[in-house]
A and B are shown apart, each in its own frame.
Chain A
Amino acid sequence: MISRIWRTRLAPYALILPGWLWLVIFFVVPTLSMLSVSTMTGNDLDGFKQTFHLSTYSDAWSEYHTQIVRSLVYGLIATVLCLVIAYPVAYWIAFRGGRYKSSLLFLLLLPFFVSFVIRTQSWEFMLDDHGMVLGTLRTFHLVGVMKTLHLVSSSGTILQTSTAVIGGLVYNFLPFTVLPIYVALERVEPSLLEASSDLYANKFHAFRKVVFPLSLPGIFAAVLLTFVPVASDYVNAQILGGTKNTMIGTAIETEYFTNLNYPVAAALSFILMAVLLIGVFLYARILGTEDALEMAAA
């Protein structure tokens, strides 16, 4: 009997253990090791020594604050664009999808079956100076308009501009915005809409007073799911943005692989993580929602 009780008590720990160990060894320990590397001094040839050199952080900030700020700004713009584009799509599928909801979602998710790198590279191919996008714009004489709006470079190209980078980011992460909003809208009881129309609310009022507030948790989750990967992405910046639009990820990569300056690279990674985590938690705090974190985790 006693052994049976012990067995049920210990069973969860035994089942957790292997996966937990894997995560501790290859996720927690590396993060701590990176923290320790970030305060070391030395160079690649003579090796690095722990000297608790905290000014690496201020050095990293002063050298790369442009990239850090740019990552946050691009992240913000892309997230807002994603929300504006995604909300109507999520609404459409949730309320008008009927029997085809899962088929429509599946179409929306098709890009995920193609490698992220190929998709981004495919955009480079389409946005090329002789590519199909600029060709179409030229046919309709829209390049001049886009020049005045500063959406294309002064020579009329798209690649190497912030438009291309933000466009690529919005493209790649849009499904992450649609899905949580869709899930939240899907949970809205249709009878609530009927009730509001029985109470003489017109469509717009019903949306503003009923549907939109109920979809807020989905919007919070969408912001988290979009902003974090967008702000830390560097593939789009590197493929579509050239050297003038680099983001923080590029800086981390360059410090690790080109400059072999591991402390600065580690410090940059920590700054990125700290900025994002503080942002995420402040955001969740201000909006007073645990739903957001829960939905983001699910």
Chain B
Amino acid sequence: MSAIAGLALEEAYENDHRPVTVHKPKRKGFLLPIWGWLVILWLSSPIVVMIVFGFNDGTGRATSTKWNGFTFKWYQNLFSISDLTTALGNSITIAIFTTLIAVVLGTLMGVALGRWKFRGAGSVNLLLFANIAAPEVVLGAALLSLFLTLNIPRGYVTILLAHVMFSIAYVVVTVRARMSGLDPSLEEAARDLGAGPLVTFFRVTLPLIAPGVSAGALLAFAMSIDDYIITSFNNGSTQTFPLWVYGAAERTGGSVPPQVNVMGTLIFAFGVIVAVGGAVANRKRA
């Protein structure tokens, strides 16, 4: 889902180093900035609602549509709904395991595809493209039909298998881009100086492609923790955070407990801090 986001951000950071446009229009219109800011405002409005209503006082069964006064009590009682806490825990651990596995497998693939031309590379690229382009509901349904055919019970493990499946391609894409921009003579120099392939990889290649790897890791984590559609086909009775929120909204006819807003706010804050921190670190390195 949010995959393209990370890629474009990475592109934007790189383009930031381009010289600032020389072209300066004599008369600057004001319609474009107004439109742009309106769109940004529109896109952020649900976030504002989420953050604000995490502080809204009330009974707690469901977020009231009215403002009842400021309170910290949902932050203090963050974990009082045990199912929700379990679901959030599942989401976080699944996202961590997904990231670890997808980053290792995806980096290896990305390095190979970015460095060598070899027979079969084209079909691997096609496989990756198909994986990215396929509608999520089809990915989820296909995996479910496999699990049903083989009579594999669905749960935590099948969610993890599915998440790694849809994350790998994004890690490959970010690493491959980084890898093909790399000067091969750096690795050759290391080899000439007597470093073995493993030492070369860990001491030379990996540090150089680190920004690509970390962008891929961020994508994998974000996609895993946010996924609803594919997970909903393969979860069995295991709940994840998005699944629990969706279920709660359906049960109560559209309203969720305030704790959901608080957890959403905390995940949002964490994501923003990691992304901004990463960008600043990248900038310092460059």
Contacts and interface: CB of A to CB of B under 8 A. Distances in A.
For chain B, the bracket of interface size reads 35 or more
Q: Which of A190, A269, A272 has the most CB of B within 10 A?
A: A269
B99 interface: no
B164 A22 contact: yes
B137 A249 contact: yes
Q: Which of B15, B22, B113 has the most CB of A within 10 A?
A: B15
Contacts of A193: 23
B2 interface: yes
Contacts of B28: 96
B143 interface: yes
Interface in B211-266: 222, 225-226, 228-229, 232-233, 241-242, 245-246, 249, 254-256, 260-261, 264
A213 interface: no
Given A112-B2, A256-B233, A92 B35 contact: yes
B266 to A, nearest CB: 11
A99 B20 contact: yes
A13 B118 contact: yes
Interface stretch (B69-77, B78-86, B104-112, B182-190): B104-112
Given A23-B168, A119-B46, A272 B138 contact: yes
Given A88-B32, A101-B12, A114 B267 contact: yes
Contacts of B249: 117, 121, 124, 239
A80 interface: no
B36 interface: yes
Contacts of B68: none
Contacts of B130: 27
Q: Which of B28, B36, B264 has the most CB of A within 10 A?
A: B36
A229 B108 contact: no
Contacts of A110: 43-44, 47, 272
A171 interface: yes
B141 A269 contact: yes
Interface string A116-128: 1111011111101
B63 A125 contact: yes
Interface of B: 1-2, 4-5, 7-9, 11-13, 15-16, 20-23, 25, 28, 32-33, 35-36, 39-40, 42-47, 49-50, 53, 63, 65, 104-106, 108-109, 111-113, 115-116, 118, 120-121, 124-125, 127-139, 141-146, 148-149, 161-162, 164-165, 168-169, 172-173, 177, 222, 225-226, 228-229, 232-233, 241-242, 245-246, 249, 254-256, 260-261, 264, 267-268, 271-272, 275-276, 279
Interface of A: 11-13, 15-16, 18-20, 22-24, 26-31, 33-34, 36-37, 85, 88-89, 91-93, 95-96, 98-99, 101-102, 104-119, 121-126, 128, 130-132, 159, 171, 174-176, 179-180, 182-183, 186, 190-191, 193-194, 203, 224-225, 228-229, 231-235, 239, 248-249, 252-253, 256, 262, 265-266, 269, 272-273, 276-277, 280, 293, 296-298
